[in-house]
Each structure stands twice: as structure tokens, then as C-alpha cells.
Chain A
Amino acid sequence: MKNRLKVLRAERDWSQADLALRLDVSRQAVNAIETGKHDPSLSLAFNIARLFNLSIEEVFDDGQG
């Protein structure tokens, strides 16, 4: 699944480890989500969207919309 995580993170000058700390996950998890190798669970997707004050659709794109 495509996402804007890397862009959103870079806009705030956060490293992957910084974002991982805010989401209470490992840095590897952030890297895997960013590169599309791991689709986050619904609860983690909500946490990510909430952290950036966006809706889930504004962060993630499943290519169906």
C-alpha cells in the first residue's frame, strides 16, 4: 500500500526513530511501512493519521480510490 509517511516525516524533520518513538513501535516497523513492505493494522493506521492530524486516506492510498 502506498503512503505519504516519508514525506510527512521529512516535513517535520523527524527520523524514522523519532517517528517510531511517537508511535511506540520499532524503527524497523516505520521503515517497513514507509517502503510498503508492511501494511499497518487499522489501529496503527489510525494512530499514524492522528499523529499527523490527517485522515487515514490522506496518509495511505490503497489504489482503489
Chain B
Amino acid sequence: MMAKGEDRLEERPADLKTVVLSVLLGLVALFGLGVAVSGSFRVLFVARNFVWGSPGGWRFLGILAVDLLIVGVSLWGLTRLKPWKGLGGPVSPATRRASRLYWAKELLGGAAILALLFGASSKGQPFSAASNSPLPLWVAIVAIPCWLLARVIREGWRNSADEHERRASDFGRNAATGVFLAVTPAWWVAARAGLAPQPDAMLLWILTMVVSSIGWTWRRSA
């Protein structure tokens, strides 16, 4: 047990289990919130034949309740895990600059995902934003520039981050690339041999994003 003074000088970051769980819970909470917002948007502003109290209305409310429950449990889990523990104290100018770029990138990525969710809602598929169904043109006009600009800002972030952060980010990217290079051809061959459904680009992207996030966050806090 450390003395109080020692505790101030020794700020231990989160361990691997906490990091992995926190990333997964954070993704579930974000996705669940997006689904709740876009589903409600469709019901309130888009669906003309929606009737409260009808079987469809009850079904919507049921899905929304389960979705919000999942979001609530995820957020509660995050407050229990406290992955932000030990992040206090003064921050250097370079770290602050990198942090601003990081959140700008996240904001743009979030805007692209929100556009996707709202677009899927307006086409009558509130809970299937990750499907391959058609989307309105405005979604592409909003989401694609947001996404591409987020990628450019990400490179700016990488260049202004310190060497430890950069190495952690590269580790996550390498791990994600390895998973992508292994899974994609295996899935493609399995689909052609009738062992699996057709490869889904969105699922592969989500998988690589999760692996990259876990690898980066783990290496960063290691």
C-alpha cells in the first residue's frame, strides 16, 4: 500500500482487462445511443403511418427500451471500470494540441455515423444502419467528406502525438491490418466454398476498428 505522497507521484494506468472492457462498452454505448436517436427521429419526423399503441408502436418501444437498457448498463460499467483513472494533472502543450486534433477527428467520424443512422432511418430501416441497403444521396454528401477529413486529421494527430502515443497507435494499426489480412481472404474463400455468407465490408471494418482501438489503448496505457 502506497503512502499518500507516493500515490500522488505514482499514477498507475488501467490494466489490459479494464482497457478491453472499456473499449467494448464504449462502442456498445455509442452504437446504442445512435440507434436510439435515429430510431426516435424516424418515428417522430419521418414515418407517416406510425401509430402509438399499435403492434408496430409497441414493438418500437420494446426495442427502444432494450436498447436504452443496454446503453445504461454499458455506461454504468464504464463508471465502475473508470478507464480515465490516473489521467489528471498538468498537460503539456503538445499533448493538448494532439488531444484537440484527436477529438476533432472523433467529432467528424461521429457526424458521419450519425448521418448514416439518420439516412437509414429515413429509408425505413431504423435499426439496420450497418446493412448494405440503399441510402439517400444526402448521406453520401455529408458522410463521405466528414469521413475523409477525419482520416486527414488523424494523420495530423499522429504527427503531433508524442513518440509513445505514436508507437501505441501504430501497434493498434498493425494488429488491425494483420487481422484484416487474415480474416478477409479466409472469409472470401469460405463464402465461395459455400461455408459462409458473402464477405461484408462493414463487418470487416468494424472488426478492424475494434482490434485497432483495443491494441492502441492497451499499448498506450501499458
Given contacts A25-B92, A26-B95, A27-B89, contact A40 B163 (CB under 8 A): yes
Chain A residue, CB-CB nearest to B167: A38
Chain B residue, CB-CB nearest to A18: B90
A44 and B163 contact, CB distance less than 8 A? yes
Chain A residue, CB-CB nearest to B221: A28
A24 and B9 contact, CB distance less than 8 A? no
Q: Is A20 an interface residue (CB 8 A)?
A: yes
Chain A residue, CB-CB nearest to B11: A16
Q: Is B15 an interface residue (CB 8 A)?
A: no
Number of interface residues of A (CB under 8 A): 25
The contact sample of 13 A-B pairs, CB cut-off 8 A, is: A10-B9, A15-B8, A17-B11, A20-B89, A20-B92, A24-B94, A25-B163, A27-B89, A28-B13, A28-B220, A33-B164, A38-B164, A41-B163
Q: Is B91 an interface residue (CB 8 A)?
A: yes
Q: Is B194 an interface residue (CB 8 A)?
A: no
Q: Give the residues in chain A near B93, CB-CB below 8 Å.
A: 24
Chain A residue, CB-CB nearest to B162: A25
Chain A residue, CB-CB nearest to B90: A21
Counting from the closest, the 4 A-B pairs by CB-CB distance are: A17-B89, A29-B164, A25-B162, A24-B92
Tell me the interface secondary structure of chain A in the complex. Answer: helix
Chain B residue, CB-CB nearest to A14: B9
Q: Give the residues in chain A near B87, CB-CB below 8 Å.
A: 27
Given contacts A9-B9, A15-B8, contact A29 B91 (CB under 8 A): no
CB distance from B205 to the nearest CB of A (A): 27
Number of interface residues of B (CB under 8 A): 27
CB distance from B90 to the nearest CB of A (A): 5
Chain A residue, CB-CB nearest to B94: A24
CB distance from B200 to the nearest CB of A (A): 35
Q: Is B55 an interface residue (CB 8 A)?
A: no
Q: Give the residues in chain A near B90, CB-CB below 8 Å.
A: 17-18, 20-21
- Complex Cα–Cα for A25 and B163 (A): 8
Q: Give the residues in chain A near B168, CB-CB below 8 Å.
A: 28
- Complex Cα–Cα for A32 and B222 (A): 7
New contact pairs (20) apart from A18-B89, A20-B90, A20-B95, CB-CB < 8 Å = A9-B9, A10-B9, A14-B9, A16-B9, A16-B10, A16-B11, A16-B89, A17-B11, A20-B89, A21-B91, A24-B92, A24-B94, A25-B92, A26-B165, A27-B11, A27-B87, A27-B91, A28-B164, A28-B165, A29-B164
Question: What string of 1s and 0s marks CB contacts (under 8 Å) between B2-23 and chain A?
Answer: 0000001111110000000000
Q: Is A62 an interface residue (CB 8 A)?
A: no
A25 and B95 contact, CB distance less than 8 A? yes
Q: Is B134 an interface residue (CB 8 A)?
A: no
